[in-house]
Amino acid sequence: MSKRSILHMFDPMPNNSPFDINMALDAGFDVLMPYSNVKLEYINNLTQDVIFSRGPAGVKRTAIFIGGRDMGLAIDMLEACKPAMVPPFQVSVFADPSGSYTTAAALVACVEKSLKEVHGKALHDCKALVFGGTGPVGIATGVIASLQGADTYLVDHLSQDNANDVAKQYNRRFSSHLRGAVARNDEEKAALIADVDLIFCTAKAGIKVLNAAVLAQAKQLKVAGDVNAVPPAGIEGVGLKDFAVPLLHASQATKAVGVGALAIGNVKYKLQQKLLNSLLESETQKFIDFRDAFDWARILV
């Protein structure tokens, strides 16, 4: 009888995310084992405990998931797993802290698709703003967009310094070209969006980041994507299921379109499911982060 499949879920937070638990069980793992409060320095030992207890056939039915809220730490943990493997005792590892990698990958892929279909443009032709840009989804979104050549700004709602620091930190790590910006009120938001092509909204759920009056100041906006599914929408006028639907409030940018949270969520869901499945199906070992997630998201849309 083949051994049951096990997903070891390492999480630096006090608890795993119920989102990841649902997704992992739905992807077909038989047993989920949560590990909370995991520190980077434990990863080596935990990984070796994972690989040495099931034999070379058993490790193919075993994988590691890395969660949390911190996108940089998740990458560090993913990297720390690699040297701990002892072939043929090795398992695949998938990092997706708070689902941020797959959410960001799905967001950028949906926006990219709308940009191409409606405007015939590519990400590298565009200037992009990421609202909620210093949170986990925002950073991953920014890095993906920047690596595709978009001139990308991470927008913090309180501090220019914080935005600059985060941009610098992740540029160093991923060779991206992010810049920082701040928008503390509607005036600052209006000034920022006046000349941008793309808006990614990844701010906290239930907060209206861009209202109709602010959107009216956008002069060359092409696509705006919002991942917030909890009313009110992060971008006023973007419906949850919108996929390249005209953005009426952007009255000066007549061809602008919006992508809503459920449209993005649908891609994100399929993507995370696909990547979790690949942990079970693959004969070869995989290390999956947001860059791999984006490659798959492009195929899915």
Partner 1 sequence: MAKPFILHMLTTAKNLSPFDVNMALDAGWISAVPYINVEPSEVRGLVQDAIFSRSPKNLKRTAIFIGGRETKQAMDMLKTAKNAMVPPFEVSVFADPSGAFTTAAGMVAAVEKELLDKFQTTLEGKNVLALGGTGPVGQAAAVIAAQAGANVRIIGRQLDRAERIAELCNEEFGDGKIAVTAGADADKAEYMNTADVVFATGAAGIELLSAELIAAAPQLKVVADVNAVPPAGIAGVDSFDNGNPLAGSISGAVAIGALAIGNIKYQAQNRLLKRMLESEQPLYLHFEHAFEVAREFIKSTD
For partner 1, the binding residues (CB under 8 A) are 14-23, 25-26, 32, 34, 36, 98-99, 205, 229-231, 265, 269
- Least CB distance to partner 1 at residue 107 (A): 14
Q: How far is the CB of 13 from partner 1 (least distance, A)?
A: 10
Q: How many CB atoms lie within 10 A of CB 115?
A: 23
Question: Which residue in the block uniquely carries the two structure tokens 């994507």?
Answer: 225
Q: How far apart are CA 228 and CA 206, in angstroms?
A: 7
Nearer to partner 1, 162 or 273 (CB): 273
- The whole-angstrom separation of Cα 112 and Cα 212 is 23
**Nearest approach, Cβ of 230 to partner 1 (angstroms)?**
6
Minimum separation from the CB atom of position 89 to partner 1 (A): 27
CB 188: neighbour CB atoms within 10 A? 15
DSSP E strand stretches across 219-289 = 223-226, 243-246, 257-259, 287-288
Integer Cα distance of 301 and 274 in angstroms: 13
Closer CB to partner 1, 269 or 287, in the complex? 269
User: What letters, b where the CB count within 10 A reaches 16 and e where it falls short, cover 36-65?
Assistant: eebeeebbeebbeebbeebeeebbbbbbbb
Residue 20 or 151 having the CB closest to partner 1: 20
Cis omega (within 30 of 0) for bond into 232: yes
Q: Which is nearer to partner 1, 18 or 87 (CB)?
A: 18
Q: Hey, what amino acid is at 210?
A: L
Say if residue 225 is exposed, middle or buried (CB neighbours under 10 Å; 0-12, 13-18, 19+). buried
* Closer Cβ to partner 1, 189 or 268, answer by number: 268
Residue 34 Cα distances to 7, 25, 213, angstroms: 9, 12, 45
The residue among 158 and 205 lying less far from partner 1, judged by its C-beta, is 205
Shortest separation between residue 265's beta carbon and partner 1, angstroms: 7
**CB contact at 8 A, 209 and 203:** yes
Q: Minimum Å distance from CB 191 to partner 1?
A: 32
Q: How far is the CB of 73 from partner 1 (least distance, A)?
A: 18
Judged by CB, which is closer to partner 1: 33, or 40?
Answer: 33
